[in-house]
Amino acid sequence: MQAGEGSGMGERDSVAGKALDAGKAQEEPTAIALESETDIRDLIYTVRGVQVMLDSDLARLFGVETKAFNQAVSRNIKRFPERYRFQLSGEEFDSLRSQIVTSNERGRGGRRYLPYVFTEQGVSMLTSVLRSDVAIETSIRIIDAFVEMRHFIAGNAAMFEQIRAVELRQLEYQRTTDERFERVFDYMEVHEAPRQKVFFDGQVYDAFELLVSLVRRARESIVLVDGYADAGTLNILAKKADGVAATIWTHPRARLTVRDVEAFNAQYPRLEVRRTSAFHDRFLILDDTEGYLVGASLKDAGKKSFAVARLEDGESVAAILARLDTGQE
């Protein structure tokens, strides 16, 4: 039977309203006790720039089934324009479900249609459809939760803006840093390594850049002879190409620990550390053929004046490798 808005109480006494009235003695205390104001605030989401609640959550708060709840609303649809109630799109529902990690009821796993959501005005209008003491009291508590949520957002707007600004600065810094290193690495790929280079105290970044460029030239192996190797040395070796094996020969009392090596290998395999006290100078040998004399420990490069010089004859490189094979302690 079709009836107008003012045709009497029968039209507004929907299935949901009857369920509420019939079960008032049992449902009213249960519905009120189950949810605190904090719990209700947790059911408020932001969709299309407005705060809303799902029809299934509202039905549970009012103590009726979701189907009966939506039937009651449909019978009075003129009371619920689009700004009061709207149906989620599939993309919006998927996004919302990713935020809900609770029970099957909260997960909406068995729904055959996309849910509707209600704005604060829509919740207020529900009291004219679901008429009972429990509906009125529940609506008041829900609207109070909406108001508290608005106050929280308004009161912390400056903080949220500061967080967004920090995140944007971090993203921009990361982007510019990545671009700068990519330019350095691209340059290193197409330019021959220098025969020799002198660095003066304070040129830490320049020294780091050169040593990284040398490490990245290796295609199969890196051998580093550095009696004072520590965790800082690994920052340079971490720039090696994937699949390149690295070996550090360092003093038996050097501060490079087993834990340092394990942490490095977990991300940049494969590194082996061996011990020797037979060398005073530092050497960097790439692919068993290209060798460099390094005047400072890699961890201290640039802190004081030092030089890097290429070993021009292959026999010197071969002699160093041969001595290492007999110099382990």
| Contacts of 209-215 spanning 24+ positions with Cβ under 8 A | 209/184, 210/308, 211/236, 211/284, 211/294, 211/298, 211/301, 211/308, 212/184, 212/188, 212/236, 212/239, 213/184, 213/185, 213/188, 214/284, 214/286, 214/292, 214/308, 215/239, 215/240, 215/284, 215/286
196 falls in which pLDDT band (50, 70, 90)?
confident
The confidence score (pLDDT) of residue 199 equals: 83
Q: Are residues 109 and 216 in the same domain?
A: no
Q: Specify the higher pLDDT residue, 266 or 7.
A: 266
Copy the structure tokens of residue 194: 């220098």
Residue 25 has a pLDDT of: 36
What local confidence, expressed as pLDDT, does residue 121 receive? 86
How much is the mean pLDDT over the chain?
77
Q: In Å, what is the CA distance from 165 to each residue of 172, 179, 316?
A: 11, 21, 55
Classify residue 1: in a domain, yes or no: no
* Burial of 137 per CB tally in 10 Å (0-12, 13-18, 19+): middle
Residue 143 and residue 59 share a domain: yes
- pLDDT bin (cut points 50, 70, 90) of residue 193 is low
Q: pLDDT by residue (tens digit) across 210-263?
A: 898 899 989 999 999 999 999 889 989 999 999 999 999 999 998 888 999 999
Do residues 18 and 113 share a domain?
yes
Answer yes or no: is 160 within a domain: no
Mean pLDDT across 137-141: 77
DSSP letter at 200 equals -
For residues 308 and 27, give the distance between their C-alpha atoms in angstroms, rounded to a whole number.
83
Residue 184 lies in a domain: no
Q: How far apart are CA 81 and CA 179, in angstroms?
A: 51
Q: How confident is the model at residue 158, as a pLDDT? A: 62
Same domain (yes/no): 104, 201: no
Read off the amino acid at residue 86: F
For range 38-58, the mean pLDDT: 84
In this structure, the answer to whether residues 223 and 137 fall within a common structural domain is no
Give the pLDDT of residue 246: 95
Percent of the chain surpassing pLDDT 90? 27
Phi (first) and psi of residue 74, to 5 degrees: -65, -35
User: How many domains in the chain?
Assistant: 2
Domain annotation covers residue 170: no
For residues 149 and 47, membership in a common domain is answered with yes
Residue 220 lies in a domain: yes
If asked whether residues 84 and 215 sit together in one domain, one would say no
The answer on 146 and 25 residing in a single domain is yes
> Does residue 132 share a domain with residue 202?
no
Please write the tens of the pLDDT for every residue from 70-120. Answer: 998 999 999 999 999 999 998 888 888 876 654 334 444 456 789 999 988
Specify the higher pLDDT residue, 25 or 315.
315
Tell me, yes or no, whether 13 and 132 share the same domain. Answer: yes
Residue 75 lies in a domain: yes
* Residue 2 belongs to some domain of the structure: no
CATH code, domain carrying 233:
3.30.870.10
Q: How many helices (H) and strands (E) does the chain have?
A: 15, 11
Residues in the chain: 329
Domain interval for residue 237: 195-326
Task: Identify the domain boundary among 155, 184, 219.
Answer: 155
Q: Which of 126, 155, 184 is the last residue of a domain?
A: 155
Domain boundary among 99, 125, 155: 155
Q: Smallest Cα–Cα separation from 122: which of 63, 67, 169, 69?
A: 69
Same domain, yes or no: 123 and 246: no
Question: Strands 221-225, 116-118: parallel, antiparallel or unpaired by DSSP?
Answer: unpaired
Residue 163 lies in a domain: no
pLDDT band at 63 (very low <50, low <70, confident <90, very high): confident
> In the prediction, which pLDDT does 213 show?
87
Rounded Cα–Cα distance for residues 208 and 204 (Å): 6
Same-domain status, 136 and 239? no
